[in-house]
Structure 1
């Protein structure tokens, strides 16, 4: 499959903040057939790049002192030509800054913000590192989805800050959903989660990974220490399951319908 084209405002990278990088590498390496490369400690803080078939698909980093109270989590990064300008724009549209823009030597620039509904999302301004090099095939990122408690505010935020051209897939009280782009060209989704997210769970992004066989992947993940939160079950888009990895980070898988 050709390298994905990462347009401005669209997801271009994912990474895992984990309390145990060795356990994470063992789990995802076995589940998704990933290999790993650890970056220079001084330049890159030991950031780990995950590869499938030699091409980058995700990152991992060890939680630092002071982050122990934060859950292990997968994060989505949206592409931008200017991380500092995007952060400024986000602040002007009711966003927050969690990590100020910072340069990653030779690779690019990153930041972490909270959108207008409190969901954390990363920014990536590419240098040499353009983003993940494989997508929508087994063991690679397949979809990115915001579950938000304030659907209207979220849609407006991503339109205003990231220039999203949104397409409404459904707008009923039972199911409100909009996408970045339309049809097969859609890059990400926004779901109204106000009816099901518990009060203590904030709005958040979720990452989907493609698999060849959802049921077999769930069985394998559980054997490696994962827990099943939901599914697997058929949907109009594929067979879905939600899991947590051995240290509690949530992710989704999607395969062909049975």
Structure 2
């Protein structure tokens, strides 16, 4: 499988999971996506787990750490590539966002910052040194998309446009929903769905990753067997067939089988 050697600014580049039960999470993603893992020892990261494909020595696809605050919900965090973390932090605050973790150096790997947008949705930025991000994307069992669920899409468009320079493009992929594709230099890098009245009131707006799977139907069924809840059953959209599930600890993620080229 081809490995990624660089990410352009504004692109999603890494994911990590905050789990209240790392053992359960390792078992779930290992069974569902075939991931292996090893523990990365870095002073700033307590027991940070690196998920890999094709065995422990395979390419890294995501990370995991124990949920630090039990009052917070389990979730995936999406990281976006930036040239400079301090500059990104200033743009976030100027656009009305909140700094959660100020710029922090992670050994020789790079620098990160964590933030919340106008509606409280968390995300992170990454300035690489020796680690650009995920070694593999757009392959089975790897990240293939990231998506924001928002209750105010106009505010979200303005915010992320200021922070990352994203351009918004409307699409209609699923039922009658207007879907936002965010682009950088003409390339789609992320998406946004509107949270209308059909979404549970208790669900916060959030970012979730999508992982590519060979058979969306089979993957959704398997996730259920492993203790997940299927919140959006498999359905067809222009890019392929997708589903959204909540893993056994409560973190949301998407599954996508891309449409085969005609």
Provide the TM-score with structure 2 as the length reference.
Answer: 0.89
Q: Which of 137, 147, 150 is 1:148 aligned to?
A: 150
Q: Which residue of 2 aligns with 1:229?
A: 231
Q: Which residue of 2 aligns with 1:96?
A: 98
Provide the TM-score with structure 1 as the length reference.
Answer: 0.91
CA distance in 2, matches of 1:45, 1:134: 24
The structural deviation recorded for 1:68 is 0.3
The structural deviation recorded for 1:194 is 4.0
The structural deviation recorded for 1:116 is 2.3
Q: Which residue of 2 aligns with 1:82?
A: 84
Q: Which residue of 2 aligns with 1:137?
A: 139
Q: How many residues align?
A: 253
CA distance in 2, matches of 1:232, 1:182: 29
* Structure 2 counterparts to residues 180-195 of structure 1, below 5 A: 180-181=182-183, 185-195=187-197
Q: Which residue of 2 aligns with 1:14?
A: 15
Q: Judge conservation of contact 1:214–1:256 (CA < 8 Å) in 2.
A: no
State yes or no: 1:62 paired with 2:63: no
CA distance in 1, matches of 2:195, 2:7: 27
CA distance in 1, matches of 2:211, 2:66: 21
* Unaligned ranges ≥5, structure 2: none
Q: Judge conservation of contact 1:166–1:182 (CA < 8 Å) in 2.
A: no
CA distance in 2, matches of 1:183, 1:124: 19
CA distance in 1, matches of 2:95, 2:199: 24
Distance change in 2, residues 1:155/1:100 (3 Å): same
The structural deviation recorded for 1:28 is 0.4
RMSD: 2.1
Q: Which residue of 2 aligns with 1:26?
A: 27
**1:189-233 C-alpha deviation (Å, 9 max, x unpaired):** 122224443433222112111000111112221222212112112
Q: Judge conservation of contact 2:42–2:106 (CA < 8 Å) in 1.
A: no
Distance change in 2, residues 1:212/1:249 (3 Å): same
Q: Which of 243, 247, 250 is 2:249 aligned to?
A: 247
CA distance in 1, matches of 2:48, 2:104: 15
CA distance in 2, matches of 1:50, 1:113: 23
Q: Which residue of 1 aligns with 2:49?
A: 48
Task: Tell me the secondary structure at the aligned position of residue 219 of structure 2.
Answer: helix
Task: Tell me the secondary structure at the aligned position of residue 45 of structure 1.
Answer: strand
**1:129-184 C-alpha deviation (Å, 9 max, x unpaired):** 101111111100111111111111111111111111333335xxx53322222899
* Unaligned ranges ≥5, structure 1: none
Q: Which residue of 2 aligns with 1:204?
A: 206
CA distance in 2, matches of 1:257, 1:139: 16
CA distance in 1, matches of 2:187, 2:38: 31
